[in-house]
Amino acid sequence: MPEAATGPVGSGREPEEPTGDAWGVDSEYGRLEDVLLCPPDNFRWLPTSAISRATLESGARFEPETARAQHAELVSIYESAGVRVHLLEPDPALPYQVFARDSSAMTPGGAVITQLHQWWRRGEYAPVIHFYEENEIPIAGMITAAALEGGDVIIVEPGALLIGNGEERTEEPAAQQLADWMRAEGWEVRVEPIPGKFVHIDVLVSILAPKLAAVCVEAAPGGLIAWLRAKGFEILEVSVADAFALGVNAISLGDERVISTAASVRLNEALRARGLEVLDPDLSMFTAGGGGAHCLAQALQRRRAGG
């Protein structure tokens, strides 16, 4: 497969080169082989959510050099874990493009191009489509019904998808559009209304290993908790205060390894107590802006968990 100028820059253990239908994911915890990030060249804090508005109102100062150093450390962690890192081309008009999770959602059959809600993010469709086309990664669909953002799409396990619907970002018609596509493939899909102040469902829920989820139980709807428990999930409870600071928003590397953040002390302790390896860089410039480790990355290829 020819490489685009935007990636890959990974090192360490070399995964096999993906070909054909190798691109895609069927879980949040299969071994991560390829990941999509975006350099923070144009990132700055904007009042995009209750989280970032609270930061701006606090008088905290954005430090671009610190943000670049923190993002470079994150890239290094992926590389050291043997993950190929691919980079979007930063666009000066897109300050929140660094949160590469949102402009697409990866499925077993390829990427779904999303439609972002806020005007300062709508243009993110262009560089992400260019990236997928340049790298010959299948595009399985494009959301057209309304707004849907990648942070609201979680593969709970092979065959089961969770879509958050807070209306401030993802809207019901678009959630149902993706749900219909996945149901046609035989998947169970749960569209879950969430409190808008939590932005995306990955601020409330993360799947970090088979049958292991971190959840802000106080804020997540009770039906969602019951649904996860009925599937046999152990739930690591995260407080509202920690969730609002992106304390749930971690990403699995597979093989019982998780990237979290240094500030997510209680979640990190709970994961380590269960034998998982936790990599916890300082991502404070990004969490203050409304996104954590999960928000910063889109998985492009994972080892299939569903056989």
Residue-level pLDDT at 307 = 64
Residue-level pLDDT at 136 = 97
Residue-level pLDDT at 306 = 83
Of 233, 191, 184, nearest in space to 208 by CA: 233
Residue-level pLDDT at 17 = 54
Instruction: Please check whether residue 5 lies inside any domain of the structure.
Output: no
Strand order in the sheet with 110-113: 104-107, 110-113, 139-142
Of 186, 185, 227, 183, nearest in space to 205 by CA: 227
Instruction: Please check whether residue 9 lies inside any domain of the structure.
Output: no
Residue-level pLDDT at 5 = 29
Instruction: Please check whether residue 135 lies inside any domain of the structure.
Output: yes
CA distance 54 to 49: 8
CA distances from 63 to 69, 288, 289 (A): 10, 11, 11
CA distances from 121 to 90, 101, 149, 197, 214 (A): 13, 12, 10, 18, 28
Tell me which residue range forms the domain holding 105.
22-302
Instruction: Please check whether residue 165 lies inside any domain of the structure.
Output: yes
CA distance 275 to 298: 25
Instruction: Please check whether residue 12 lies inside any domain of the structure.
Output: no
Print burial letters for 222-239: b (CB count within 10 Å at least 16), e (below 16): eebbebbeeeebebbbbb
Instruction: Please check whether residue 72 lies inside any domain of the structure.
Output: yes
Q: How many domains does the chain have?
A: 1
pLDDT in tens, the chain (307 residues): 223 323 333 333 444 555 445 899 999 999 999 999 999 999 999 999 999 999 999 999 999 999 999 999 999 999 999 999 999 999 999 999 999 999 999 999 999 999 999 999 999 999 999 999 999 999 999 999 999 999 999 999 999 999 999 989 999 999 999 999 999 999 999 999 999 889 999 999 999 999 999 999 999 989 999 999 999 999 999 999 999 999 999 999 999 999 999 999 999 999 999 999 999 999 999 999 999 999 999 999 999 998 6
Instruction: Please check whether residue 74 lies inside any domain of the structure.
Output: yes
CA atoms within 13 A on the CB side of 199: 28
CATH assignment of the domain containing 200: 3.75.10.10
Residue whose token pair is 């932005």: 199
Residue-level pLDDT at 80 = 98
CA distance 266 to 239: 9
Instruction: Please check whether residue 307 lies inside any domain of the structure.
Output: no
Which amino acid would we find at residue 146? Answer: A
